[in-house]
Amino acid sequence: MRTRLIAATAAAFAAVATLPLMAQQPKTAADGIAEYRKMLEDGNPAELFEAKGEELWKTARGPKNATLEACDLGLGPGVVKGAWVQLPRYFADTKKVQDLESRLLTCMQTLQGFDAAEIANTPFDRGEQASVTALAAWISSSSRGMKMALPQKHAEEKRFYELGKRAFFFRGGPMDFSCASCHGEDGKRIRMQDLPNLTKNPGDGVGFAAWPAYRVSSGEMWSMQRRLNDCFRQQRFPYPGFGSDVTVALAVYMGVNAKGAESIAPALKR
Amino acid sequence: MKIRHLTALALLCVGTAHAQSAKQLDQQADAMMKASFREQGIAKMDRVEQDAAQKACSAAKPPPATVAKKIEAQQLAAIKWPSDGQFIGDWKEGEKLAQNGRGMTWTDASATPGKNGAMCYNCHQIDKKEISFGSIGPSLWNYGKLRGVTDPADPAQAAIVKYTWGKLWNSKAYAACSEMPRFGHAELLTEAQIRDLMALLLDPKSPVNQ
């Protein structure tokens, strides 16, 4: 059943993808896209990753042959529900503001004995990077329907918000783009793609409250780290380190701005 | 008297401490931008070294008018006008370039000008037949027609032709914090490619001006 839904979704996407750009009848194209979006609502392949993530959390793995069930995602060891909508946050044990993915690396190293730096340097979707993505899918799904509520009490959390804001407006690269070039105003589009204004709360299930997400166009599950990585690629910037300060600071900036927005992660995207 | 003095001093200190902390955060953010990235393919680390124009336009608020004017004057002075005096190329090639959104990412093979698209439709409506267009920039439908361009070679119409070249070459010459890339200045496109885009916008035969 699930497989059939995914196949239907993929077919619907393929149909839209092959629509001629110079369409003779604009209405038909718009209708096609609306139809496709509706079909997407029926089945989200992210569920497969959620199931894998839950299994990974509860399975003894790594050099220490341990589960992740004692991992503290901010609400206490083993508490998963509600953790996602309060990340990134400051962690006293690492003395760092961490997002979900960088926190998972900490837990995989301390509890399971994996090498966090090695995982951070592994390309997306390979080896333990794929585990991190699946874990992020499951953990975020455990906060589905909850409102974004990143803490801003600790001085480091406030500092990271300020650094994230500066990174958001930082112009560079051969095209002079910053995050704000695309995401600084309401109601803008790149081609047909709507762009959320991330300098404020863009609304329930939009922007930061939608990732991780399954991307139909690439057939991949993307964590927020992956989303930011591809934003920087399109911004024509160099390559951001996985879990690097700029990625965490931007997540704090967007997450705090989205305060009160309902999380739909893992969402389904184009 | 003394108390008033102290109060004034205390207020001064608070003000200074606040200003310093904003400055410190600026410095920390700059250091973070350098430390968080690494080069990948054609995307080298010089891409996070800002020039004066990028730096002045990197905050939520635009820079003061005096700063903006100075940037615009500098960028205007750096524009290269067509070497052979020829401003107009082939609108058909211009349309292909306008459609092409590729180039300059770390997954692209070459950073050579001429290998890139002009990505115009990403942000602008241009030919109305193309319904997949972005909205970050203004509509360019009827660009030449609306500006009364009937013959781009007519000296009486030279001002708008020259401005359009300048805008494509270096948008920051006319608006310091324009969101548009500096296609000539940043060596994203060649002179010949910019001529073709000029034709798409200004040639009376271009579909844009029907």
> What is the structure's pLDDT at A34?
65
Confidence of residue B76 (pLDDT cuts 50, 70, 90): very high
> What is the structure's pLDDT at A44?
86
pLDDT at B1 over 60: no
Q: For chain A, what is the mean pLDDT?
A: 90
Which residue of chain A has the CA closest to B127? A22
When mean pLDDT is compared across A98-112, A157-171, B4-18, B148-162, the lowest value belongs to B4-18
Q: Check CB contact under 8 Å for B38 and A238.
A: yes
> What is the structure's pLDDT at A20?
43
Q: Check CB contact under 8 Å for B37 and A239.
A: yes
| Contact yes or no for B75/B52 (Cβ under 8 A) | no
What is the architecture, at CATH level 2, of domain A45-270?
Answer: Orthogonal Bundle (1.10)
Summarised one tens digit per residue, pLDDT across range A139-157 is 999 999 999 999 999 999 9
Overall average pLDDT of the B121-125 stretch: 98
Residue A237 three-state SS: coil
pTM: 0.89
Q: Show residues of chain A in contact with B26, CB under 8 Å.
A: 166
Whether A182 sits among the annotated catalytic residues: the reply is no
| Location of structure tokens 């891409």 | B47
Overall average pLDDT of the A133-138 stretch: 98
Residues 6 or more apart from A99 whose CB is under 8 A from it? A87, A88, A224, A225, A243, A247, A248, A251
- CA torsion, points A245, A247, A251, A254, in degrees to nearest 10? 110
**% of chain A beyond a pLDDT of 70:** 84
Confidence of residue A27 (pLDDT cuts 50, 70, 90): low
pLDDT at B192 over 70: yes
Confidence of residue A43 (pLDDT cuts 50, 70, 90): confident
Closest by Cβ to A169, choosing from B32, B58, B133 = B58
Whether the upstream peptide bond of residue B138 has omega within 30° of 0, thus cis, is no
Q: How far is CA B93 from CA B79, B192, B201, in A?
A: 23, 10, 12
H or E segment to which residue A3 belongs? helix A2-17
When mean pLDDT is compared across A18-22, A86-90, B22-26, B113-117, the lowest value belongs to A18-22
Overall average pLDDT of the B29-40 stretch: 98
**% of chain B beyond a pLDDT of 70:** 90
Confidence of residue B152 (pLDDT cuts 50, 70, 90): very high
Residues 6 or more apart from A148 whose CB is under 8 A from it? A85, A208, A209, A255, A258, A259, A260, A261, A262, A263
> What is the structure's pLDDT at A9?
46
Overall average pLDDT of the B127-139 stretch: 97
pLDDT at B67 over 60: yes
ipTM of the complex, rounded to two decimals:
0.90
Confidence of residue A7 (pLDDT cuts 50, 70, 90): very low
Q: How deeply is B173 buried, as exposed, middle or buried, from its count of CB atoms within 10 A (0-12, 13-18, 19+)?
A: buried
> What is the structure's pLDDT at A41?
65
Q: Show residues of chain A in contact with B136, CB under 8 Å.
A: 181-182, 188-190, 195
Confidence of residue A37 (pLDDT cuts 50, 70, 90): low
> What is the structure's pLDDT at A270?
81
Sequence letter at residue B123: C
Residue A98 three-state SS: strand
| Contact yes or no for B127/B208 (Cβ under 8 A) | yes
> What is the structure's pLDDT at B86?
96
Q: Show residues of chain B in contact with A102, CB under 8 Å.
A: none
d(CA A76, CA A70): 9
Overall average pLDDT of the B71-80 stretch: 98
Taking one residue from A and the other from B, the number of pairs with CB-CB distance under 8 angstroms is: 144
**% of chain A beyond a pLDDT of 90:** 82
Helices (H) and strands (E) in chain A, counts: 10, 8
Delimit the domains of chain A by residue range. 2-40, 45-270
Confidence of residue B13 (pLDDT cuts 50, 70, 90): very low
Which residue of chain B has the CA closest to A179? B58
Strand partners of residue A220 = A215
| Nearest-neighbour CA in chain B from A54: distance (Å) | 31
Confidence of residue A135 (pLDDT cuts 50, 70, 90): very high
| Tokens at B46, concatenated | 């010089």
> What is the structure's pLDDT at B3?
47
pLDDT at A12 over 90: no
Q: Show residues of chain B in contact with A181, CB under 8 Å.
A: 136, 179
Closest by Cβ to B43, choosing from A176, A199, A239 = A239
> What is the structure's pLDDT at A28?
56
Q: What sign does the CA torsion over B177, B182, B186, B188 have?
A: positive
H or E segment to which residue B159 belongs? helix B158-169
Q: How far is CA A121 from CA A242, B38, B45, B106, B193, in A?
A: 7, 12, 18, 17, 39
d(CA A231, CA A225): 10
- Of residues A168, A165, A205, the one with CA closest to residue A183: A168
d(CA B186, CA B177): 15
> What is the structure's pLDDT at B17?
43
